[in-house]
């Protein structure tokens, strides 16, 4: 009798706490936004700037998030080494850019600049794909039949291994990305401030996402990947080589991450051995936000996270007089991760994951 009361009390206090949590979050968002907007410190142009910045950032998160979500879909594991695959791509692009700069092509004229960027992205995709396929073969495939926690630990190990391999190879220093001058210039539009690099990031990210979506939904191999995600034994009975489908998934996800690595580095102009960690974990957040395992969800989650990070701090926190709220963008991103995991673990577009992946 007594223990049942304790149980009731625990239940009530937990749900009470969760409701308080919800109310506090909603209050911060609503009151903060109202205060910020009524103070009128920021012009419309500033908000548009923030939104455009969020769009660039968000499309990069979306590209990386696709790799997390596809691998989760097919293997039910979080590939924590994905951030390092992204970083390796950025390094690949860096060396291509240095080579192109030495050959004098990088800034010769806008045409060679664009071609150079294409080459950088291609090199990055190749580097990332090779690395991801190796990681899958060496670290994950032997653990295919192991309990779910074990490949997860292997992934964390692979992540550290890659980080410190790159540190060993290229040192702990930060490499400044060679400047592509055209990309830094402003787009000649009177009503918004926009650099060419943002146009490049958003356009190439959207083209790649559309390509990936068509690949997954319309092609024979893409359909086979979805079939393997659903039921490996039955997929094998269809004549699908399950291992090949899994490797293809890793390769495609890594290619997106490699391209994202170059785009990110072109925006922030630097790369070092640890530079995959934060974007990686942000993209993981985006994948969870959209519903992990869900391809359109990852795209949506990435774009949403980009906006939340870019507009959120100013909109929600500035009104409370928080000094330099932009320093708190990571807090916003990870608060969102916690909120999603607590209140809607299946994400925005997600199905109830537990039913399928038991």
Partner 1 sequence: MTGDANGTGGDVILRLEDVNTYYGRIHALQGIDLEVQRGEIVTLIGANGAGKTTALKTVSGLLHPPMGKIIFDGADVTHVAAHELVRAGIGHVPEGRRIFARLTVLENLHMGGFTRSVAERSEDLERALTLFPRLRERLSQKGGSLSGGEQQMLAIGRALMSRPRLLLLDEPSLGLSPILVQQIFELIKEINSQGMTILLVEQNALQALNVAHRGYVLQTGKIILSDTASGLAANADVRRAYLGEI
Q: Which stretch binds partner 1 (CB under 8 A): 62-70, 223-231, 259-267, 270-278?
A: 223-231
- From the list 351, 341, 285, the residue with the least C-alpha distance to 18 is 341
Any contact of residue 237 with partner 1 (CB under 8 A)? Answer: yes
Chosen residue from 188, 239, 321, 323 binding partner 1 by CB under 8 A: 239
| 10: CB partners within 8 A, 6+ apart | none
Q: Which stretch binds partner 1 (CB under 8 A): 240-248, 273-281, 297-305, 340-348?
A: 240-248
- The helix (run of H) or strand (run of E) holding residue 132 is helix 110-135
- From the list 81, 79, 117, 111, the residue with the least C-alpha distance to 97 is 117
- The helix (run of H) or strand (run of E) holding residue 243 is helix 242-268
Q: How far is the CB of 69 from partner 1 (least distance, A)?
A: 14
196-218 and 220-230 helices, crossing angle to 10°: 70
For residue 124, give both structure tokens: 């990055």
Chosen residue from 4, 104, 173, 220 binding partner 1 by CB under 8 A: 220
Integer Cα distance of 138 and 31 in angstroms: 52
Q: How far is the CB of 101 from partner 1 (least distance, A)?
A: 46
Q: How far apart are the first and last CA of the chain?
A: 35
Chosen residue from 55, 97, 202, 224 binding partner 1 by CB under 8 A: 224
Chosen residue from 7, 185, 241, 330 binding partner 1 by CB under 8 A: 241
Any contact of residue 230 with partner 1 (CB under 8 A)? Answer: yes
Chosen residue from 65, 235, 288, 311 binding partner 1 by CB under 8 A: 235
Q: Which stretch binds partner 1 (CB under 8 A): 145-153, 165-173, 228-236, 340-348?
A: 228-236
Which residues lie near partner 1 (CB under 8 A)?
220, 223-224, 226-227, 230-231, 233-242
């Amino acid at each position: 009798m007594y223990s049942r009361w304790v149980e009731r009390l625990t239940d009530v206090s937990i749900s009470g706490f969760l409701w308080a949590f919800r109310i506090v979050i909603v209050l911060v968002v609503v009151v903060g936004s109202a205060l910020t907007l009524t103070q009128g410190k920021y012009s419309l142009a500033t908000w548009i700037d923030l939104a455009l910045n969020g769009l660039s950032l968000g499309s990069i998160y979306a590209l990386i998030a696709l790799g997390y979500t596809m691998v989760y879909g097919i293997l039910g594991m979080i590939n924590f080494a994905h951030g390092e695959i992204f970083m390796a791509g950025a390094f690949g692009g860096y060396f291509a850019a240095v080579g192109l700069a030495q050959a004098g092509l990088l800034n010769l004229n806008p045409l060679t600049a664009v071609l150079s960027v294409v080459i950088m992205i291609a090199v990055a995709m190749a580097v990332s794909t090779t690395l991801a396929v190796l990681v899958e073969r060496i670290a994950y495939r032997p653990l295919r039949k192991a309990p779910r926690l074990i490949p997860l630990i292997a992934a964390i190990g692979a992540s550290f291994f890659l980080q410190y391999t790159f540190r060993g190879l290229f040192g702990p220093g930060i490499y400044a990305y060679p400047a592509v001058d055209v990309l830094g210039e402003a787009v000649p539009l009177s009503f918004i401030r926009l650099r060419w690099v943002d146009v490049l990031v958003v356009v190439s990210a959207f083209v790649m996402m559309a390509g990936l979506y068509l690949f997954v939904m319309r092609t024979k191999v893409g359909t086979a990947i979805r079939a393997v995600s659903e039921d490996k034994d039955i997929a094998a009975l269809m004549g699908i080589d399950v291992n090949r489908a899994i490797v293809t998934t890793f390769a495609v996800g890594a290619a997106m991450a490699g391209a994202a690595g170059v785009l990110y580095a072109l925006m922030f102009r630097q790369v070092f051995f640890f530079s995959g960690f934060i974007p990686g974990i942000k993209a993981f957040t985006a994948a969870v936000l959209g519903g992990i395992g869900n391809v359109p969800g990852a795209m949506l989650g990435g774009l949403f996270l980009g906006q939340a990070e870019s507009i959120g701090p100013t909109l929600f926190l500035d009104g409370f007089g928080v000094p330099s709220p932009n320093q708190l963008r990571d807090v916003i991103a990870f608060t969102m991760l916690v909120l999603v995991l607590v209140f809607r673990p299946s994400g925005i577009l997600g199905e109830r994951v537990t039913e399928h992946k038991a």
